[in-house]
Amino acid sequence: MRLRPWSLARPAAALALIVVSLLDVHGLLLGLGSHTRARDREMARVDQELRAAQPRIAPLIARGDPNALDAALRAAMAATSATAGAAFSGDGRILMALPSDGADRPWVGPPPTARFKPGEVGHGVSADATGVDTYTLVRTDAGPVALRLESGSAELRDELRERRQLLVVQAASLLLLLVALSLLAALRPTAAADPTPPTALLAYEEAMDRLRTQGEAESHRHEDERRRMEGALRDKETLARAGELTSGIVHEVRNGLGTIVGYAALLERESSPAQAAHARAIREECETLETVVRRFMDFIKRETLQIAPVDAQRMLSRVAARESRSRPGAAVAVSVEAGLGIQGDEELLERAFENLVRNAREAAGTGGHVWIEARRDRGAAEVVVSDDGPGMNAEARASLRPFVTTKAAGLGLGLAIALKIIQLHGGEMVLGDRLPRGLLVRVRLPDEAADVR
């Protein structure tokens, strides 16, 4: 007996429901595993940073006075990029919280002395599963003190959001299958019915094809993102190890350069004109190497922000004047909106804009022009540095990274140092074309502007 397509529709739909249910469960398990790995990576990062900061924090806590405890809590928060923190006595009584209106949650569970040993670091997941709570116990003469640091994680928030979206898609696919099965159960074909598949089954098959395509695309996107994040993590770990190694090497090199410069200066003063010229060449080359070493150290060292209101007009004018005096080059014009202020570390921001202005003047050359413009823009401070030099092609702008330069004698660190400092402030730096020619660097600092008038 030949089976008609309609007689196979219900078993096929039931089988599809089972398969999709299994795929949904598999996707849910993968999502949970991905969230767990992201949480473990965040815990490992905070653990490493807090252990490295303990030698600085423990002496402050041991002093026992409130000011020292406040300084210790702030140092721990800065070291781990925590958004909130609190200090507790050995029996779980709260001593201090930063910020005072958001981190004063009481200690939950057994007291600190029952949960941790002195110097031990423990972790937990925040209540909304988007961050990590880190704990450590320090013993003092006045009694043990426990610190709790609350760190938010953008990676954990993104993972949680993507899991919720995936659950919505999975629920929609199951609901669609249940509707299709209900329609198949309700319909009874007659003997004279057309042997072609019913409209509901065709719609179901089309919907399943669309869902399958969408699911495969999401899987590929998640896999690509995972590879990208793992590669970025490996690069950061490699740079951290290289930074520790080269810091020691650079220290020894700078000592040797200082000795050579001193002897060269002595020979320059006490030798014949010909020999003095050679000594001067040695000294100038050593000073050039010293500049290279100093800029390299500026890039690899770990900065700590000292946030305060910054007068944008005064800072940018000082940068323009200093760069114009230090070396010949393009003329610099400064235009700043009256009263514009920035919340940030003035010394670091000044260093970032010095690098941007120096690069612009070198690109524009003698006879060229550089413009610095700053204004408020949608709750942020926007600073634009532009020049009328040869500019930079799109490929070079997209591959902005240390030690990549378009200048014959460049180090490739100026833009990289500026970008690092801007990102430390939570800002962004975008490179673009200036018409009719030249390069335009747009810096946005998202901190709320402070009126300095």
Q: Which of 259, 275, 300 is the last residue of a domain?
A: 300
Q: Is residue 234 part of a domain?
A: no
Backbone dihedral angles phi then psi of residue 143, each to the nearest 5 degrees: 125, 160
Q: Which of 187, 206, 225 is the last residue of a domain?
A: 187
Q: Decide the pairing of beta strands 341-344 and 131-138.
A: unpaired
Q: Which of 300, 330, 349 is the last residue of a domain?
A: 300
Q: Is residue 266 part of a domain?
A: yes
Q: Is residue 95 domain-shared with residue 172, that is, in the same domain?
A: yes
Closest listed residue to residue 167, CA positions, set 13, 30, 39:
30
pLDDT in tens, 186-234: 665 544 444 455 677 788 888 888 888 888 888 888 888 888 888 778 7
Q: Is residue 289 domain-shared with residue 312, that is, in the same domain?
A: no
Q: Is residue 294 domain-shared with residue 319, that is, in the same domain?
A: no
Q: Which residues contact 81 (CB under 8 A, 6 or more apart)?
A: 49, 151
Closest listed residue to residue 74, CA positions, set 138, 146, 149, 126:
149
Closest listed residue to residue 150, CA positions, set 137, 136, 133, 135:
133
Q: Which domain holds residue 366?
A: 308-445
Q: Which residues of 389-414 are buried (b: 16+ CB within 10 A; e: fewer)?
A: bebbeeeebeeeebeebeeeeebebb
Confidence of residue 335 (pLDDT cuts 50, 70, 90): very high
Q: Is residue 110 domain-shared with residue 254, that is, in the same domain?
A: no
Residues in the chain: 453
What mean pLDDT value characterizes the chain? 79
In CATH, what number is assigned to the domain containing residue 331?
3.30.565.10
Averaged pLDDT, 54-69: 84
Whole-angstrom distance, CA of residue 84 vs CA of residue 131: 11
Closest listed residue to residue 342, CA positions, set 304, 299, 305:
305
Q: Is residue 453 part of a domain?
A: no
Q: Is residue 315 domain-shared with residue 177, that is, in the same domain?
A: no
pLDDT in tens, 377-411: 888 899 999 999 998 887 777 766 554 455 544 45
Q: Is residue 333 domain-shared with residue 389, that is, in the same domain?
A: yes
Closest listed residue to residue 213, CA positions, set 251, 173, 271:
173
Q: Is residue 288 domain-shared with residue 321, that is, in the same domain?
A: no
Position 352 pLDDT exceeds 60: yes
Position 174 pLDDT exceeds 60: yes
Tokens 């018409």 belong to 435
pLDDT in tens, 83-114: 888 888 888 888 888 886 655 678 888 888 78
Q: Is residue 325 domain-shared with residue 176, that is, in the same domain?
A: no
Q: Is residue 211 part of a domain?
A: no
Q: Is residue 82 domain-shared with residue 110, that is, in the same domain?
A: yes
In CATH, what number is assigned to the domain containing residue 158?
3.30.450.20
pLDDT in tens, 228-286: 888 778 767 776 676 667 666 776 777 787 888 888 888 888 888 888 888 888 888 88
Q: Is residue 205 part of a domain?
A: no
- Is the preceding omega at residue 99 within 30 degrees of 0, hence cis? yes
Q: Tally the domains of the chain.
A: 3
Q: Which residues of 58-82 are buried (b: 16+ CB within 10 A; e: fewer)?
A: bebbeeeeeeebebbbebbbebbeb
Helix axes 154-186, 5-63, angle to 10 degrees: 160
Closest listed residue to residue 208, CA positions, set 182, 163, 176, 181:
176
Whole-angstrom distance, CA of residue 173 vs CA of residue 247: 56
Number of Cβ within 10 Å of residue 206's Cβ equals: 10
Is residue 360 within 8 A of residue 439, CB to CB? The reply is: yes
Number of Cβ within 10 Å of residue 296's Cβ equals: 19
Structure tokens belonging to residue 299: 């890039």
